[in-house]
Structure 1
Amino acid sequence: MRLNYKVVDFHCDALSKMRLHPHMDFNTDKRLDVTAERMRQGSVMLQCFAIFLSGQLGSPTIEHILNQIDIYNTKVIPNGLTPIRYVEELEQWELSGAMGGLLSLEGADGLEGNLHYLQICFDLGVRCLGLTWNHANWAADGILEPRNGGFTLKGLQLVDLCHQLEMILDVSHLSHKGFWELVELSEKARRPFIASHSNAYAICNHVRNLHDDQIQAIIRLNGRIGVTFVPWFVHQGDAVSSSHLLKHIEHICALGGENIIMFGSDFDGIESHVSDLNHCGRYSDWVETLLKHYPEQLVRGWLYDNAVAFLRMWLPKNK
C-alpha cells in the first residue's frame, strides 16, 4: 500500500525556461519538468519557483526579474496554485489541500545593487534570496569565483535588509568565505538560512556541494538542506539513479542532520536527469524508494514536514 504523502520541492527553474520559451504552457507542457499536471501526479503540494536570469537574456536587470514574477502570476498560479507569502497564507494553504507556490530569486545580480529593488521584490511576493549564482556579483562572490571573496559592503547591507524583511537567505552557489560570513551574521540575527539545492561533498566532490563543516553549521543553526537531483552533484559517473541519492541522505543523517533534510530538485534547470527522477511526477517512485530504506516518519519529514516547519517559523507575518 502506497504511503499517502505530500511533497515540498524547494527549487525549480520553470520560470526561467518559460521566459526563454514564451509559448510553453505550465499546465501540461511536457517540455517542462515541473507542470501543474506533473505536480498533481507526484503529490508536489508546494513548489518553490526560482527567478533565474539566464545569460541568454543579456545583462541582469530588475526588468527581467519583474518579467518572471509576471510569468508566475499569469501563467503558473492560475493553474490551481495558491501563492504563499506570509505565514497566515501557509496555514490556510495547509488546510485547503490545494497546491502552493513560493517565489525565490536565484542570485542578487538583477537587483542592480539597489536595495529598494529588494523591497519591491518582497512586496511582490519573493520570499527567498539566493545571494549569488556561481560567479561574483555586486553583493558577494559565487562558488566558482577563483578569489573566494565574501560579501561586499553593499552585500552586507543586503543581508541586513533581508533579515529585517524576514527574507529567507539561500547559500547554494555562495563562496566558502561568504558562507562563513553569513553563518556569523545569521548567528547574530538569530535567523537561520537554507541551502536550497546542494548535496554532500564527502559523497560527491563537486564544488557546489557542502563540506561536512558547512553541513554541521546549518544543523547548528537549524537551517535546511535541499538534497538535489542534479546528476553531477549526486554521483561522478554515468547512469546516475536515485539509489545514489541515498548516500547523501545517509551522510547528512550521520552528521546529525536528519531533521534538516528537504528536497530541492533543480528540475528545469538541468539538461540531463537522474535516470528515475526526470520530472516532478516521479516523486511517487522516489517515495517508494525511500520507504524501502527508512522509517515512514523520517520520509514524511524529508518530503514535507521539515520544509513546512521551517516556513512556519521563518516566513513573515502579514502585519
Structure 2
Amino acid sequence: MKIMDGHCDALTKLYVNPKLDFEKEDQELDVSYPRLKHAGVKVQCFAIYLSDSIQQPTFDHILQMVDIFHRKIVSHSGIRFIQNVQDWHEVEAGDQIGAILTLEGVDALAGNLTHLRILYHLGVRSIGLTWNYANWAADGVMEPRKGGFTRKGKLMLRELETMGIIADVSHLSTAAFWELVEGYNKPFIASHSNAQKICPHPRNLSDDQIKAIIQCQGQIGLTFVPYFVDSVNLAVSIPGLLKHIDHVCSLGGERQIGFGSDFDGIEQWIKGLRHAGQYENLIEALCKNYNETQVEAFLFGNWRNFMLTNLPK
C-alpha cells in the first residue's frame, strides 16, 4: 500500500548535524531514503523548522535549509520534488518517492511578504503559521495570552490564498484558528495534530475544530507523538492511535484522515512506530480494524485527493 506522510523534521536534523546521511539507514534519522523505500512511502513532506537552538532566526537560515533539501534529499535519484499536480502524477506513475517542501513557523520571514513569495518560487507548498508560541503573524497554541492574528498576519493569509500555498493550523492558537476559518477561503490542513476528545493536549484539535476542517474539505495528519495520542499511559501503542481515527470518523471526517508522523521532531515514539521503516506495523493494525478502501484512503488516498485539488496545476 502507498503512504503519504504530511510532516517530518528530517531537514532540521540534517541542518543541525551535517554528518547525517539521508541516503543511508542512519540510526539518528527516523526518515531516510532506505526507510521510506522499505515502508512504501510514496510522498513525504519535509518541514523547514528552525529549532530553538537558532536564537535569532533569519530568512538566510530558511534558505540554508532549502539548500540542504536540494543537496541532500531531492538530489537522490529515487526522490522527485513535487511542486504541482503534474509532478504528483509523474511520481505516482513511476518508481520515485515524492518530496513536498513545507515551512513550520513564519518567524524568520520577519513580516516580509516578499520572502513569502520567494519561498513559493522555491517550491514551498504548505506553511505552518506558528510553532507553539507567538510570532509577528499570530499566537501559537502555547502562548499564554491566547491571541489571534496580527494585522500583518492577516495580510499574509490573503497572500497565501492568492499564491495557492496551503495554510497549516497545527500549533496555531485557538483564537487564530477561528480567525482563519472566518477569513481564509480555501481548504486548510492540520499536518500533525490529533483529537482533544481522546487526548486532551492543547496541541490537539477540539471537535469543533475537526468539524471546521471537515467543512472546508481540509485534511488532518494524525500524528505519532505519544503524548498527543494518550495522556494517561506512558507506553503508547498503535491501538491508541486508532482511537483518534475512530473519533474523527464519528464526526464525519473519514475522508479527512491522513497521517503526519512528526518523525525526527520527537524524542519519544509509539511502540512499533520508531521510524518510517516501521509503517508496516501501522498497516497491519489498520487492516485488522478497517476495510481495504478505508485503509488505502487513510494511508494515501485522502492526502492524494487533497493535494490534487490544492497543489498548483
Which residue of structure 1 lines up, in the alignment, with residue 74 of structure 2?
A: 77
Unaligned 5+ runs, structure 2 = none
Which residue of structure 1 lines up, in the alignment, with residue 44 of structure 2?
A: 47
Distance 2:14 2:194 in 1: 26
* CA RMSD, Structure 1 to Structure 2 (Å): 0.7
Match of 2:27 among 30, 34, 53: 30
**SS of 1:163 mapped into structure 2:** helix
Greater Cα offset, 87-96 or 225-234: 87-96
TM-score, with normalisation over the residues of structure 2? 0.98
Match of 2:179 among 145, 159, 181: 181
Q: Which amino acid aligns with 1:184?
A: E
**SS of 1:49 mapped into structure 2:** strand
Cα distance, 1:78 vs structure 2:
2.0
Which structure 2 residues correspond to residues 54-65 of structure 1 after superposition, within 5 A?
54-65=51-62
Which residue of structure 1 lines up, in the alignment, with residue 227 of structure 2?
A: 232
Which string of whole-angstrom CA distances, capped at 9 and with x for unpartnered residues, describes residues 191-211 of structure 1?
110000000000000010000
Greater Cα offset, 6-15 or 59-68: 59-68
Which residue of structure 1 lines up, in the alignment, with residue 115 of structure 2?
A: 117
Which residue of structure 2 lines up, in the alignment, with residue 296 of structure 1?
A: 292
Which residue of structure 2 lines up, in the alignment, with residue 18 of structure 1?
A: 14
Distance 1:240 1:27 in 2: 30
Distance 1:65 1:296 in 2: 40
Matched, 1:208 2:203: yes
Which residue of structure 2 lines up, in the alignment, with residue 265 of structure 1?
A: 261
**SS of 1:11 mapped into structure 2:** coil
Which string of whole-angstrom CA distances, capped at 9 and with x for unpartnered residues, describes residues 173-221 of structure 1?
00001000111122xx2x1100000000000000100000000010011
Q: Which amino acid aligns with 1:305?
A: G
Aligned residues: 310
Which residue of structure 2 lines up, in the alignment, with residue 100 of structure 1?
A: 98
TM-score, with normalisation over the residues of structure 1? 0.96
Which structure 2 residues correspond to residues 250-261 of structure 1 after superposition, within 5 A?
250-261=246-257
Unaligned 5+ runs, structure 1 = none
**SS of 1:292 mapped into structure 2:** helix
Distance 1:115 1:50 in 2: 19
Which string of whole-angstrom CA distances, capped at 9 and with x for unpartnered residues, describes residues 21-42 of structure 1?
1110001112100000000111
Which residue of structure 1 lines up, in the alignment, with residue 272 of structure 2?
A: 276
Distance 2:41 2:183 in 1: 33
Q: Which amino acid aligns with 2:235?
A: A
Distance 2:95 2:155 in 1: 39
Cα distance, 1:98 vs structure 2:
1.3
Which structure 2 residues correspond to residues 134-149 of structure 1 after superposition, within 5 A?
134-149=132-147
Distance 1:111 1:206 in 2: 28
**SS of 1:276 mapped into structure 2:** coil
Which residue of structure 2 lines up, in the alignment, with residue 7 of structure 1?
A: 3
Which string of whole-angstrom CA distances, capped at 9 and with x for unpartnered residues, describes residues 274-310 of structure 1?
0110101111111011000000100000100100111
Cα distance, 1:51 vs structure 2:
0.3
Which string of whole-angstrom CA distances, capped at 9 and with x for unpartnered residues, describes residues 238-284 of structure 1?
11011100100000000000010000000000011001101011111
**SS of 1:256 mapped into structure 2:** coil
Cα distance, 1:58 vs structure 2:
2.1
**SS of 1:259 mapped into structure 2:** helix
Which residue of structure 2 lines up, in the alignment, with residue 305 of structure 1?
A: 301
Match of 1:90 among 69, 88, 91: 88
Matched, 1:248 2:244: yes
**SS of 2:103 mapped into structure 1:** strand
**SS of 2:56 mapped into structure 1:** coil
Match of 2:130 among 122, 132, 148: 132
